Structure 1
Amino acid sequence: MTRAADWIVTDLDGTLVERDGTIVEPSRAALRRFMDAGGTVVIATGRGEESALPYYRALDPGTPAILYNGARVVDLGTGDVLHRRTLGAAAWTKLADGFGDLPGGVWPVPFSGGRAHARPADVAAAPALRDYARRDGLGLRPVASWDELPPADVIKVMLICDGPELMDAAERAVTRTVSGVTLVRSEANYLEVLPEGSSKGAALRELAAARGVPLERVAAIGDNPNDLDMIRAAGLGAAVGDAAEAVRAAADVVVGTCADGGVADLVARVLP
């Protein structure tokens, strides 16, 4: 069987995974058919190891996963870290010092050592923060002070906003505080502060080059602005039908919605 792509790289939330956290079954089955036909599936997500692992096990792709929106590439089968970026001690220290200047209703969640961290008072005060942890299957490790985190080991900071209307103000607060970082919007009320140069697209380019796979032979699919660079890097960039407007505009093809099996539609295009 002739394939139009050797790799399919898929986002999780809003692309392969519904809002309730379940994998869309027609899409999962289609990816299995693609792998059975000799294709390779790669997960690319903003999630970390803890919350991506159940989906990796459900798909069983046997390939490294792009995590933290490209800041890490990890073999989730063995735990080996193949590629790693951190914010760096200077950037993290400036960010942490500036958390007090964040707008009300914006809650920081730093990731370090493969774990998400939060202040207990924030968790108690913020339903949005608790919803984020529940949705991503995260145990938020309590910290009394941000000084407890090793400054050189912080991978990224999630800023969970009580509502989308706070995103612009949160972004302005970060840019006033620190430079040399990358900001991406992974959900309508999630702003992520990543190491400079980190993106799903950058990680895809590095992983494909390491495996000798031309980008023209890669199809990638997503739904939110953090997927844009990946969609543009791939030979065939796809957006699910309910993706953000900017993502649909950048895609080569727009398929069905997440819930309707948009990933399965992409498989049908590359696996006649």
Structure 2
Amino acid sequence: MTKIALVVSDVDGTLVTHDKRLTDKAKAAVKKLEDNGIAFTVTSSRPPVGMRFLIDPLGITLPIGPFNGSSIVDGNLKPITQHLIGEAAAAKSIAVLDKYDVDVWIFTNDEWVIKRDDGKYVPHERDTIQHAPLMVDDFTPYLAKACKIVGASPDFPLLERCEAEMQQVLGDSAVAVRSQHYYLDVTPPAQSKGTFVKAMAERLGISLDAIATVGDMQNDLPMFAVSGMSIAMGNATDAVKSKATDVTTSNEDEGFAGAVELVLKRNAGQ
């Protein structure tokens, strides 16, 4: 087997705990990767600003992949590569979300745009990404700039049904997948965490077999599919675990640090 030269990790449900903490063991695990000559970066459904808190504590020097990898930004959160959903697909997405009566948010590269601030997950998102939303009466001016559209709902089965209809309505014009049980993300077409992993392989001049990926949700499956080693968190569903080469413990039980140990064990066995 090829030695792992790069680890790409999801953030929520993977690298951080349920209450969005980056533990000392997670920090030490990333340092252990560095000490063993293994590069590290992150990709997430979060906007760029929501990933800033990781860069300095983890010493990340490679580009990171916000918006489910459909954008690539540098350490100053400036876009290196950026894809947009497209105005027509954005409008269709909002129409489907409105039909299911879920909260609708639009993310551009710089702004989180909402129409109401009493949605159940608005405080949660504000605390998670450490950025305040922009309240507007009309989404129209932001459709052409949309990097991600989110439908948020505490009704998980309803959001799952919405996901299925959204995928049917959008077809190949955009990607629709839940990043959490309560968030349905719409992102640009033909872009995913898998395309981000491929971009990192090309940037570093390494094979995809030399990359390990770590995640917990359906939106992590595209990077599992292209990497030489894929590690599902213990808190992932059985469906996600079935697509991984390895499984670690949950994000509440230092599962990311456990994933790093699996990577180092694999390399030691070469």
Do they fold alike, i.e. is TM over 0.5? Answer: yes
Runs of 4+ in 1 over 6 A off after TM superposition: none
Matched AA of 2:79: V
- Aligned residue for 1:50? 49
From 71, 74, 86, the counterpart of 1:88:
86
Contact kept in structure 1, 2:52 and 2:77, CA below 8 Å: no
Report the count of equivalent residues: 263
> Aligned pair in 2 of structure 1 residues 162, 153: CA closer, same or farther (>3 Å)?
same
- 1:99 CA displacement: 4.9
User: Going by fraction, where is strand more abundant, 1 or 2?
Assistant: 1
The aligned runs of 1:40-189 (5 Å cut-off) are 40-75=39-74, 77-97=75-95, 99-101=97-99, 103-104=100-101, 106-119=102-115, 122-124=116-118, 126-149=119-142, 151-175=143-167, 177-179=169-171, 180-189=173-182
TM-score with structure 1 setting the length: 0.90
What is the letter of the counterpart of residue 204 of structure 2?
A: R
Task: Tell me the amino acid that sits aligned with residue 229 of structure 2.
Answer: L
Unaligned stretches of 5+ residues in structure 1: none
**RMSD across aligned positions (CA):** 1.9
What's the CA shift string for 1:46-93, capped at 9, x where partnerless?
111111101122212111001100110111x23332221101122223
**Structure 1 position 175, deviation (Å):** 4.5
Structure 1 residue matching 2:29: 3-state secondary structure: helix
**Which blocks of at least 5 consecutive residues in structure 2 are unaligned?**
none
**Deviates further, 130-139 or 213-222:** 130-139
Equivalent residue letter for 2:206: V
Superposition deviation, residue 197 in structure 1: 1.1
Contact 2:96–2:162, Cα closer than 8 Å, also in 1: no
Question: 1:265: Cα distance to partner?
Answer: 1.7
1:138-191 CA-partner distances (Å, limit 9, x unpaired): 311111111232x32211101101221221332255346544111111111110
Please give the alpha-carbon distance, in whole angstroms, between the structure 2 residues aligned to 1:257 and 1:268: 14
Given that residues 110 and 118 in structure 1 are in contact (C-alpha distance below 8 angstroms), is that contact kept between their aligned partners in structure 2?
yes
Letter in 2 for 1:86: L
Change in 2 beyond 3 A, CA 1:176/1:219: closer
- Counterpart secondary structure, 2:7: strand
Distance apart, 1:246 and its partner CA? 1.4
Contact persistence 1:24–1:259 (CA under 8 A): no
Post-superposition Cα deviations, 1:224-264, rounded to whole Å, max 9, x if no partner, equal: 11111111211011011111221111110111221222222
Given that 2:217 and 2:236 are in contact with CA atoms closer than 8 Å, whether structure 1 keeps it comes out as: yes
**Equivalents in 2 of 1:171, 1:37: separation in Å?**
41
